[in-house]
């Protein structure tokens, strides 16, 4: 069976837990995501530990955000780990995004538009001209013009972003919660089925899977539900 277009966020306190979650979910999902918590603790070694023998694709979610020269160096340094996807913050600007793209030619650079934990009042307080969907669309265009081939946005904006950037850009949505699940610190959320129907290519799902008593079964259940949605 084809693995579902889900990136499981391995936000684990230690390497053993992360490797265990990875081995439980990889039969069901296409991607595993390593973020700041694991990478800052274990560095590059974490990639081999969670990749295992499965060949699952690795999404390195480091959200680089610095001047172009520094981001170029950082992107080049991590590109030797061969992640399929590496994130940078779109608010770093066009030159910074371009620097990442040029320094990691074998990795898909994904620009994070507006974090899914932020709501409209957060954007007002930060002085980012909202509403969120307009800010996300603005940052999406800028990022694609700078060479990003993937974008991270919430499921709320994914249909508008798809209309803006066309079919060739990979749209990645965190802020995904199965019906009735706790939203926790996420603000702009939708169900996996809705996010996929609205045009997402890859759904980032962490705690609803890893916080379950059986992460493998939780991933399998969401994958099965997505298959039913796309078949109907």
Ligand X SMILES: O=c1ccn([C@@H]2O[C@H](COP(=O)(O)O)[C@@H](O)[C@H]2O)c(=O)[nH]1
Positions annotated as catalytic residues are 63
Residue nearest to ligand X (CB): 206
CB of 111 to ligand X, least distance (A): 11
- Interaction with ligand X in 54-73: which residues (CB under 6 A)? 61
Round to the nearest angstrom and report the end-to-end CA distance of the chain: 17
Q: Is 207 in the site for ligand X (CB under 6 A)?
A: yes
- Beta pairing, strands 170-173 & 202-205: parallel
CB of 185 to ligand X, least distance (A): 7
**Residue where the block lists tokens 């930060």:** 126
Q: Is 204 in the site for ligand X (CB under 6 A)?
A: yes
Q: Determine the size of the site formed for ligand X (CB under 6 A).
A: 15
Q: 102 or 117: whose CB is closer to ligand X?
A: 117
117-125: Cβ within 8 A, 24+ apart = 117/175, 117/185, 117/186, 117/187, 118/187, 118/188, 119/187, 119/188, 122/187
Judged by CB under 6 A, the residue of 68, 192, 206, 215 near ligand X is 206
Tell me the CA distances in angstroms from 157 to 51, 59, 128, 137, 164, one per residue in order. 31, 21, 16, 8, 11
How far is residue 128's CA from residue 135's CA, in Å, rounded to a whole number? 7
Q: 101 or 195: whose CB is closer to ligand X?
A: 195
Q: 91 or 103: whose CB is closer to ligand X?
A: 91
How far is residue 197's CA from residue 110's CA, in Å, rounded to a whole number? 21
Judged by CB under 6 A, the residue of 11, 133, 193, 198 near ligand X is 11
Binding mask 27-56 for ligand X (x = CB under 6 A): --------x---------------------
Binding residues, as ranges, are 11, 33, 61-70, 116, 177, 186, 206-207
Residues in the chain: 232
Binding positions for ligand X, rule: CB under 6 A: 9, 11, 35, 61, 112, 115-116, 152, 174, 184, 186, 204-207
């Amino acid at each position: 069976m084809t693995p579902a277009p889900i990136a499981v966020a391995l936000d684990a306190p230690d390497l053993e837990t992360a490797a265990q979650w990875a081995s439980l979910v990889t039969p069901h999902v296409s991607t595993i995501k390593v973020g700041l918590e694991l990478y800052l603790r274990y560095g590059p070694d974490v990639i081999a530990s969670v990749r295992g023998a499965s060949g699952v694709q690795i999404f390195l979610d480091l959200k680089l955000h610095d001047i172009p020269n520094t981001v170029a160096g950082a992107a080049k340094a991590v590109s030797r780990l061969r992640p399929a996807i590496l994130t940078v913050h779109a608010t770093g600007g066009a030159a910074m995004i371009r620097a990442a793209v040029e320094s990691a030619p074998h990795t898909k650079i994904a620009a994070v538009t507006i974090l899914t934990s932020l709501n409209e009042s957060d954007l007002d307080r930060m002085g980012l001209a909202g509403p969120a969907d307009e800010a996300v669309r603005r940052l999406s265009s800028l990022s694609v013009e700078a060479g990003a081939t993937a974008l991270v946005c919430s499921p709320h904006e994914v249909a508008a972003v798809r209309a803006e950037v066309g079919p060739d850009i990979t749209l990645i949505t965190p802020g995904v919660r199965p019906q009735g699940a706790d939203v926790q610190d996420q603000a702009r959320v939708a169900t996996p089925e809705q996010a996929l129907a609205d045009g997402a290519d890859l759904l980032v799902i962490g705690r609803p899977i890893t916080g379950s008593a059986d992460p493998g079964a939780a991933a399998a259940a969401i994958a099965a539900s997505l298959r039913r949605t796309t078949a109907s």
